[in-house]
A and B are shown apart, each in its own frame.
Chain A
């Protein structure tokens, strides 16, 4: 019931978000046609504005946008004139999705075992070593990891290609650069969750039953301790799937990550709104999925 209610709120939320994004980008000074043909005559500019209905009041433009949206039309890009927003997103999205899913898999595949192992040896040198490494992963920004990986693994040793998106070997460095931060974050969340869980009564009960320490950790503690990771997984996946500016820019990957920043900078209004809507939809839906998963893992959780 609760989830149906939240699902029912979704369209309204999306509408509000789309309006906010719509108004926000138009409110910023400058326009989409500032940079081209610098001495563009006022007539040309006015004609362009009229062609894209930018001379109308914002609310009227928004209604026009909504009408298009019903037909699945997000409008035309103002910078890449011959393409619609939907086209551009449809072209780049598969690449960003692939890279994002790979990085997501890497983050969980490395982060969860690392966090678990760290918690297993809590307070011992293995724990300190791993904790230092995961903290390092969280502290080193992608635009540092990427160039260093390229410098060492691609330029020096030539193990992997330095850029582009073609063979499976091209995938490795971008996945690492993108996923490392999230792997560190996941490991830290899990370690902390384990720390809190291990102080609970039911752990003592499990131990008193004579279970081995591994069984206590794996079967009893992990299930509860993984909850912070689960709730982080929603926003993390939304972030990863919509592409990363740094990684796509560095490795010249044709995804959609570069467009959010570039379109905001060049005032490509329809592009920005389309991308914001995509991100918001992913985030809201994934958060809903996360809450559902929460209930499966922890039956005590009740939503009003």
Chain B
């Protein structure tokens, strides 16, 4: 029998495919994305349609019940989950770009520049990120308001505000990514294949893009997969504080916050907190399963099985 020859990446994918938890996670994430994309179009209620049916417990008509304004909770959860997933993906994307660029540059250039860039990361680590985010978001709100005063349409302003939220969340979650990438690049830089490429006269850009970054990809994918749930969690915390998604729009975090205000000893409208919270937790679980599976597959040091 001819011995099979697989590249490390192929081996990693094979390990990933035989990882039960990761597969369940991956399918769940896919299912989630499908439901949040298709769901709002199929479900007959709109997330912002107010009715007289306030605090109606879950029924066949309203599967998740209704909230304080008689709005259908399932429609709101579908919409909120879509926003939360979007924020997670884009925020993680921003952190990916900043983190990889910063880390790769520091690691590749080395020396003084490296220690300077890493000190910057250390200092940012020591600043509580919430202060950063609040300053950034308020600065952005100011800009949007000024834009609206100058005749910017409401929709454009809202989109801008959104993008600001993504950027803000990305801007506070790139630090660990930068550290990881820098460490990898630092050890790759002195490898023979990089020196060979340099001896052949390759430019720095080519060495970095063609030889070093592809070798970092595995670690980056793993960490990216774990950043997505982290950003979703952070956004839900911000929305819980009332800083994230603004009403009448809702994310899972702001829906949970709404539900939490309705807790009192006399009556418990359990559904308005249980369904949004359940959705958030399920999504985070699935994403973490996926991330764990990727890590087990791509990181040869991590323990196998489990």
Chain A residues packing against B (C-beta within 8 Å): 13, 16-17, 20-21, 24-25, 27-30, 122-123, 127-128, 131, 135-136, 138-141, 143-144, 147-148, 150-151, 155, 191-192, 194-196, 198-199, 242, 245-246, 250, 260-261, 264-265, 272, 275-276, 279-280, 283-284
Contact = CB atoms under 8 A, between A and B. Distances in A.
11 contacts: A20-B123, A21-B127, A135-B285, A143-B240, A143-B257, A147-B259, A155-B263, A194-B303, A195-B302, A283-B125, A283-B126
A196 B303 contact: yes
Nearest to A198: B303
B157 to A, nearest CB: 16
A264 B268 contact: no
Contact of A135 (B132, B289, B303): B289
A239 to B, nearest CB: 9
Pick from B256, B263, B288, B289 the residue with the most CB of A within 10 Å: B263
B270 interface: yes
Contacts of B142: 29-30
Contact of A260 (B131, B141, B305): B131
A150 B264 CA distance: 10
B305 A155 contact: no
B233 interface: yes
- The range of chain B's interface size is 35 or more
A115 to B, nearest CB: 12
A144 B128 contact: no
Contacts of B128: 242, 260, 275-276, 279
B281 interface: yes
A10 B301 CA distance: 34
Nearest to A135: B288
Interface of A, helix, strand, loop or mixed by DSSP? helix
B303 A122 contact: yes
Contacts of B135: 24-25, 27-28, 264
A198 B122 CA distance: 32
Given A138-B288, A143-B260, A29 B139 contact: yes
A151 B263 contact: yes
B205 to A, nearest CB: 31
A199 B306 CA distance: 14
A13 B265 contact: no
A265 B292 CA distance: 36
Contact of A122 (B123, B284, B285, B305): B305
Contact of A21 (B131, B288, B306): B131
